[in-house]
Chains A and B, each alone.
Chain A
Amino acid sequence: MELSKEQCREIIARRIAQELKEGDVVTLGIGLPTEVANYIPSDIHVMLQSENGMIGIGQKDTEAPEIAKVTNAGGLPVTTRPGAVFFDSAMSFTIIRGGHVNVTVLGALQVDSHGNLANWMIPGAFVPGMGGAMDLTVGAQKVIIAMEHTTGKGEPRIVKNCTIPLTAENEVDMIVTERCVLEVTKEGLLLKEINPLFTLEDILKDTEAELIIPDNL
């Protein structure tokens, strides 16, 4: 099954939005994870936290001045939702590292069988820095990875052991790709759902890590 990049991203973002519950404090990473906000069911109220210092992110603010006073972690002007709060970076990371974020959704370069995550650098090629990703991965109650199943070159991102520098050890709880949903367990990666557009073979051929496949799937 060939899907466009946009279709893949929508499938992933829609599926992750189903994991969010009423009242959750949720921090979304930059890029694909941010798109999860577009699919949060309208009957639940989720508090979106932003590491630069707010809870209650609304929409893109198209009327803000050039240097805006309310932005998201990508530096883009945003509006606030009812119940919004502003705070400084020390409070922001008290919230993040202190376990007060229920769910964080992050992108990944690689995830492995042990729930290790690598998403902040590729030595010699791409070194943007970790920003708040290490704190978020360690501190959030539930870490969900949103990523396309393979790299642009078709290489597996779900590997036996990460080969690039880690963001955190053993912290990932769930992986959602356009092809499947995986849960990280003590025994390894458990295949929970297969997108009906794909077969089990489509998943296995592009996954380096061993998967636990339940009989009743």
Chain B
Amino acid sequence: MKEIISIQQAASLIKEGSSIMIGGFLRCGTPYKTVNEIVKNKTSNLTLIANDTCYPEYDRGQLIVNKLVKKAIVAHIGTNPETGRQMNSGELEVELVPMGTLVEKIRSAGAGLGGFLTPTGVGTVVEKGKETMVVDGKKYLFEKPLKADVAVVYATKADKFGNAFLEGTTRNFNTVMATAADTVILEPEEISEEPLNPAEITIPGIFVDYIAFEGK
């Protein structure tokens, strides 16, 4: 059985200067309650690892607007003009990573791999400073694994084993992030008293350390 904690307790697990992975693709499938609480706590100096920096008004976007992030490792910042502004003024370091490379770096860390070779980014600025290798006549970039101190991931429904079901396109980065951090917090919308059907589980509960639930 996993420990069920409040949203406030979950947010307090994120310390100043932590690296934090947050699931979500824009507003879809993101653990916004815990993220909003981190914003309230003003936990700063964070390294944010996520698909994008969302919109200025919401969750990950609010972390940026409130200047709680020192470095963002993301694939897309176009929906949050404040990220671009802070990047241009030197207040925020932004490492832009191709989306497929970003998810695979996280997957590598969670899967115990020392990195991978990808053709994505060959001949572009992404290649800069990276080792390359030619395999069967094709050039690849070597990309390293990426892990974090804490991952906060979304679930539509979870049981007390931490097994989670994610509906529709809410899966996005949540599944891989749950495998690649020292502490993993799952934020389900609903907790089931009965164990979920094993055939319908998106994230195995073994990856989850805490379940953050409103009303706890």
Chain A residues close to B by CB (< 8 Å): 50-54, 67-71, 73, 75, 86-90, 92-93, 96-97, 116, 127-135, 138-139, 165-170
Contact = CB atoms under 8 A, between A and B. Distances in A.
A71 to B, nearest CB: 5
Contacts of A165: 124-125
Given A128-B77, A131-B76, A168-B124, A69 B28 contact: yes
Contacts of B27: 67, 75
Contacts of B29: 69
B28 A68 contact: yes
Contacts of B87: 127
Contacts of B67: none
A166 B124 CA distance: 5
A129 B103 CA distance: 15
Contacts, number: 140
Interface residues of B, number: 45
A51 B99 contact: yes
Contacts of B174: 88
Nearest to B58: A67
Tell me the interface secondary structure of chain A in the complex: loop
B103 A89 contact: yes
B9 interface: no
Contact of A70 (B51, B103, B121, B169): B169
Given A134-B98, A168-B123, A89 B28 contact: no
B171 A87 contact: yes
B17 interface: no
Contact of B167 (A69, A75, A93): A69
Please provide the 6 A-B residue pairs with the shortest distance between their CB atoms, ordered closest to farther.
A128-B78, A93-B100, A169-B123, A135-B100, A75-B26, A69-B168
Contacts of A90: 103-104, 107, 175-176
B120 A75 contact: no
B75 A67 contact: no
Contacts of B107: 90
Interface of B: 25-29, 32, 51-52, 74-79, 84, 87, 96, 98-101, 103-104, 107, 118-126, 156, 167-176, 202
Contacts of B120: 97, 134-135, 138-139, 168
Nearest to B28: A71
Contacts of B126: 130, 134
A52 B169 contact: yes
B171 A53 contact: yes
A167 B124 contact: yes
Residue among B32, B51, B84, B169 facing the most chain A CB atoms (10 A cut-off): B169
Contacts of B123: 116, 166, 168-170
B156 to A, nearest CB: 7
30 contacts: A52-B25, A52-B28, A53-B172, A71-B168, A71-B169, A75-B25, A86-B171, A88-B103, A88-B176, A89-B51, A89-B172, A90-B104, A90-B175, A93-B103, A97-B118, A127-B77, A128-B78, A128-B84, A129-B52, A130-B126, A131-B52, A132-B75, A132-B100, A133-B98, A135-B99, A135-B100, A138-B120, A139-B120, A165-B124, A168-B122
A53 B107 CA distance: 16
Nearest to A89: B103
A22 B172 CA distance: 28
Contact of B76 (A53, A89, A128): A128
Nearest to B81: A128
A51 B170 CA distance: 12
A37 to B, nearest CB: 17
Contacts of B173: 88-89
